[in-house]
């Protein structure tokens, strides 16, 4: 077995959610890399890899196909994240010239990980759902399996009862948007806190159905936006299939069996440096009453946290022009309920920037806790 030369850069991605292709790694000053496409898909942008080199000189890592990634505006004013211990992630100097994304670092240790955003591993996902099931109020349900054979897991929190509302949360339809599962971790942490008044009051009023990871295959494969078959799950909600989109098919089947009084679909956005929501204003059945409740939810969230704003976001669909294949639109129309896509930034919240970490796992976690408060403030008005 040849002994690898000690002081040349070694790059690897053969681990949970790893994604990079090495083009040339002989020169630490110009390590040439490419991001791999999602399987059977044109989409790519998520990257996650490890650099090992005993020579702790300055390294420049050049992702040379960044200019054709899914959302290239996402590279403007973007800083990659890095970690030595895979727990604490920090922003590193990153430049984008329109084609190549260049990351520069003089490592403090021999091994360092780089990623598009703080990763959320499949093992952490398993810890999350199995710790949750220890709570007397929480039941872990397996709805079926993905194309790669992983569980599609749902947490039911609370007991159904007369007049109790059914509140659904889904996250990580787009697997590279890992902030979504950090958000859910914070949301569940509070919802299952028996000392938290808002959580306890909410569980007297509502039952929660939470799918922390809608796309475990894409997560493990290091995809940005699709499942194992290269399907964008957030375009499958009108006509899902067990052959292409079992993740959506099985969750949607449960929604139709149980009912939905409020729906939040948790995502991340590559370009906009803000937290914002995208509603279902373009649905055929959207009414002034729906708009009033939606506005109340947004105003309450603005009052709860300066991390949220409602001035900048996606263009609203014209009346009747909503895309019914999108989760928030299909659920909002099918169940005539309050339904929102919640978007967090890969970059930072420019209203409250933190230059050392940008938007982060911790801020996503805390935002999930704040959204629980917002749900508490509108729960009595769902179906009113």
Residue 347 binding ligand GEM, by CB under 6 A:
no
Residues between 205 and 264 that touch ligand GEM (CB under 6 A) = 234
Q: Cβ contacts of residue 158 below 8 Å, gap of 6+? A: 137, 164, 203, 206, 207, 208
Question: What is the smallest separation between the CB atom of 168 and ligand GEM, expressed in angstroms?
Answer: 16
- Output 141 or 325, the one with its CB closest to ligand GEM: 325
d(CA 350, CA 279): 22
Question: What is the smallest separation between the CB atom of 222 and ligand GEM, expressed in angstroms?
Answer: 17
Annotated catalytic residues are: 343
For 215, how many CA atoms within 13 A lie in the half-sphere containing its CB? Answer: 33
The pattern of x and - marking residues 259 through 288 that bind Zn ion according to CB under 5 A reads: --------x---------------------
Residue 204 binding ligand GEM, by CB under 6 A:
no
d(CA 89, CA 293): 38
- Output 101 or 171, the one with its CB closest to Zn ion: 171
Distances (CA, A) of 232 to 168, 208, 261, 335, 364: 20, 25, 25, 23, 23
Task: Give the ranges where 168-214 is alpha helix by DSSP (H).
Answer: 179-191, 197-205
Own/partner contacts of 351-354, CB < 8 Å, gap of 24 or more, are: 351/274, 351/306, 351/307, 351/309, 352/306, 352/307
d(CA 72, CA 51): 24
Residues in the interface with ligand GEM (CB under 6 A) total: 10
Are the CB atoms for 70 and 224 separated by under 8 Å? Answer: yes
The partner residues of 11 in beta bridges, in order of sequence, read 51
- The residue from 224, 278, 375, 379 that contacts ligand GEM (CB under 6 A) is 278
Q: Are β-strands 111-115 and 151-157 bridged in parallel, bridged antiparallel, or unpaired?
A: unpaired
In 3D space, the residue among 328, 16, 14 whose CA is nearest the CA of residue 148 turns out to be 16
Task: Decide which of Zn ion, ligand GEM, none touches 269; Cβ closer than 5 to 8 Å per partner kind.
Answer: ligand GEM
Coil, strand or helix: which one is 231? coil
- The residue from 19, 178, 341, 364 that contacts ligand GEM (CB under 6 A) is 341
Using CA atoms in the order 306, 345, 172, 332, what is the torsion angle rounded to 10 degrees?
A: 60
Nearest residue to ligand GEM by CB is 267
Residue 326 binding ligand GEM, by CB under 6 A:
yes
Question: What is the smallest separation between the CB atom of 179 and Zn ion, expressed in angstroms?
Answer: 10
In 3D space, the residue among 210, 208, 212 whose CA is nearest the CA of residue 165 turns out to be 208
Question: What is the smallest separation between the CB atom of 118 and ligand GEM, expressed in angstroms?
Answer: 17
Residue 172 binding Zn ion, by CB under 5 A:
no
Residues between 158 and 177 that touch ligand GEM (CB under 6 A) = 174
Question: What is the smallest separation between the CB atom of 344 and ligand GEM, expressed in angstroms?
Answer: 9
Using CA atoms in the order 102, 107, 109, 112, what is the torsion angle rounded to 10 degrees?
A: -10
- The residue from 38, 189, 269, 361 that contacts ligand GEM (CB under 6 A) is 269
Question: What is the smallest separation between the CB atom of 122 and ligand GEM, expressed in angstroms?
Answer: 21
- The residue from 59, 174, 221, 365 that contacts Zn ion (CB under 5 A) is 174
Question: What is the smallest separation between the CB atom of 343 and ligand GEM, expressed in angstroms?
Answer: 6
Task: Decide which of ligand GEM, Zn ion, none touches 314; Cβ closer than 5 to 8 Å per partner kind.
Answer: ligand GEM
Task: Decide which of Zn ion, ligand GEM, none touches 341; Cβ closer than 5 to 8 Å per partner kind.
Answer: ligand GEM
Residue 185 binding ligand GEM, by CB under 6 A:
no
Residue 45 binding ligand GEM, by CB under 6 A:
no
Q: Point out which residues bind ligand GEM (CB under 6 A).
A: 174, 234, 267, 269, 278, 314, 317, 326, 341, 343
Q: Point out which residues bind Zn ion (CB under 5 A).
A: 174, 177, 267
């Amino acid at each position: 077995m040849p002994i690898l030369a000690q002081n040349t850069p070694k790059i690897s991605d053969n681990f949970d959610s790893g994604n990079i292709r090495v083009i040339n790694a002989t020169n630490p000053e110009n390590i040439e890399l490419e991001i791999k496409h999602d399987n059977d898909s044109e989409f790519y942008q998520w990257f996650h890899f490890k650099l090992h080199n005993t020579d702790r000189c300055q390294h420049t890592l050049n992702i040379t196909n960044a200019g054709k990634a899914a959302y290239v505006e996402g590279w403007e004013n973007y800083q990659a994240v890095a970690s030595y211990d895979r727990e604490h992630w920090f922003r590193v100097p990153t430049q984008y010239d329109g084609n190549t994304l260049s990351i520069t670092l003089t490592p403090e240790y021999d091994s360092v990980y780089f990623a598009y955003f703080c990763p959320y591993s499949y093992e952490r996902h398993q810890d999350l759902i199995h710790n949750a099931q220890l709570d007397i109020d929480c039941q872990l349900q397996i709805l079926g399996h993905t194309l790669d054979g992983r569980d599609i897991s749902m947490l039911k929190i609370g007991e159904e009862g007369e007049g109790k509302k059914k509140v659904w949360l889904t996250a990580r339809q787009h697997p590279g948007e890992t902030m979504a599962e950090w958000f859910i971790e914070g949301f569940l942490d509070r919802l299952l806190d028996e000392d938290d008044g808002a959580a306890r009051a909410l569980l007297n009023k509502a039952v929660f159905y939470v799918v922390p990871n809608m796309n475990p295959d894409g997560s493990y494969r290091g995809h940005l936006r699709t499942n194992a078959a290269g399907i964008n799950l957030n375009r499958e909600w009108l006509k899902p299939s067990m052959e292409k989109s079992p993740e959506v098919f099985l969750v949607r089947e449960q929604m139709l069996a149980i009912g939905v009084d409020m729906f939040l679909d948790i995502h991340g956005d590559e370009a906009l440096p803000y937290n914002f929501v995208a509603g279902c204003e373009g649905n055929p059945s959207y009414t002034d009453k729906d708009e009033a409740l939606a506005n109340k939810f947004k105003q309450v969230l603005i009052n709860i946290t300066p991390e949220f704003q409602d001035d900048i976001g996606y263009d609203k669909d014209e009346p009747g022009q909503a895309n019914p294949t999108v989760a928030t639109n299909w659920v909002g129309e099918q169940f005539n309920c309050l339904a929102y896509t919640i978007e967090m930034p890969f970059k930072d919240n420019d209203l409250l920037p933190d230059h050392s970490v940008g938007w982060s796992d911790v801020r996503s976690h805390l935002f999930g806790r704040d959204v629980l408060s917002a749900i508490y403030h509108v729960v009595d008005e769902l179906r009113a």
